[in-house]
């Protein structure tokens, strides 16, 4: 059975200052002194949760993609996190999944946070992205997606086999709703019988909103494997596929799950 090592970077972000954020994150990433397979950054790691994509959005051949490609090659690790992207005149909150060989995938945030006006500045995605690494399947999502369980729900095949093994959220989730964040991460792990990872930022943003971090790794039975609040942290965790398979075999709840399909809203 395979293992998979994640490195979680819970960090403060400089408001709408791409240069300062990339410089700080470069030092953190290059300072990782042990092998790792996936390095996870928060949502909108170049700017914070800004509603100014006309000023700060990049394209897929822009400098931050080059930065991710270069560091992924140096560290021989996948690097993932979201940032503002522009494509054909539309703006997206886009998670990038950068491989060490320079190839990439991406996921556009489906659920836009209307409470903060995100839906007025960005377009929502229509497709999920489930990445494959060493026989593991990883469902990649962003922040507010966490509140919508159907979007994360395991869509099982005819044999009722699980669609994915890890559910990963990158976020700028405010401190005042951190109870919901921690509760929903745990719920998603339990209901989908998977590992769930949430990587959040810390500190004040440009709107004077505090973020407590509360980055977490949750096991398939809801057990908390990692939790850190209020301080910057770089944490390494190795997940074991064997433990996941044993849990699913011991508690085969997935075989009783409802069959459903998510229809393309477009």
Q: What sign for the dihedral angle of Cα 30, 44, 195, 127? A: negative
Tokens of 157: 């095949």
Alpha-carbon gap, residue 193 to 27, rounded angstroms:
35
Question: 129-166 burial by CB neighbour count: b if 16+ within 10 A, else e?
Answer: ebbebeebebbbbbbbbbeeeeebbbebeeeeebbbbb
Active site residue 16: no
Active site residue 109: yes
Catalytic residue among 37, 43, 58, 175: 43
- 3-state secondary structure (DSSP) of residue 198: strand
Catalytic residue among 143, 175, 194, 228: 143
- Is the separation of the CB atoms in 122 and 91 below 8 Å? yes
Q: Phi and psi (nearest 5°) for 94?
A: -115, 125
Active site residue 143: yes
Catalytic residue among 18, 58, 75, 109: 109
- Is the separation of the CB atoms in 200 and 10 below 8 Å? yes
Residue 56: which of 27, 13, 99, 97 has the closest Cα? 13
Q: List the catalytic residues.
A: 43, 109, 143
């Amino acid at each position: 059975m395979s293992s998979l090592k994640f490195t979680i970077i819970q960090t403060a972000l400089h408001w709408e200052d791409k240069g300062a954020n990339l410089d700080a994150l470069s030092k953190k990433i290059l300072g990782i002194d042990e092998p790792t397979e996936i390095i996870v950054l928060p949502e909108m790691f170049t700017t914070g949760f800004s509603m100014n994509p006309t000023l700060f959005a990049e394209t897929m051949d822009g400098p931050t993609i080059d930065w991710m490609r270069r560091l992924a090659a140096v560290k021989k690790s996948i690097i993932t996190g979201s940032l503002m992207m522009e494509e054909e005149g539309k703006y997206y909150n886009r998670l990038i999944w950068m491989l060490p060989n320079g190839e990439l995938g991406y996921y556009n945030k489906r659920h836009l946070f209307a409470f903060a006006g995100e839906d007025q500045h960005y377009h929502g995605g229509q497709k999920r992205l489930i990445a494959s690494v060493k026989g593991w399947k990883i469902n990649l999502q962003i922040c507010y997606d966490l509140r919508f369980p159907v979007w994360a729900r395991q869509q099982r095949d005819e044999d009722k086999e699980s669609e994915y093994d890890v559910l990963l959220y990158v976020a700028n989730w405010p401190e005042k709703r951190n109870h919901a964040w921690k509760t929903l991460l745990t719920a998603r792990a339990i209901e989908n019988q998977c590992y769930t990872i949430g990587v959040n930022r810390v500190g004040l943003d440009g709107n004077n909103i505090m973020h407590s971090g509360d980055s977490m790794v949750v096991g398939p039975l809801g057990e908390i494997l990692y939790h850190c609040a209020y301080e910057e942290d770089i944490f390494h965790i190795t997940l074991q596929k064997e433990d996941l398979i044993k849990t699913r075999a011991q508690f085969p709840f997935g075989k009783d799950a409802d069959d459903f399909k998510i229809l393309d809203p477009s």
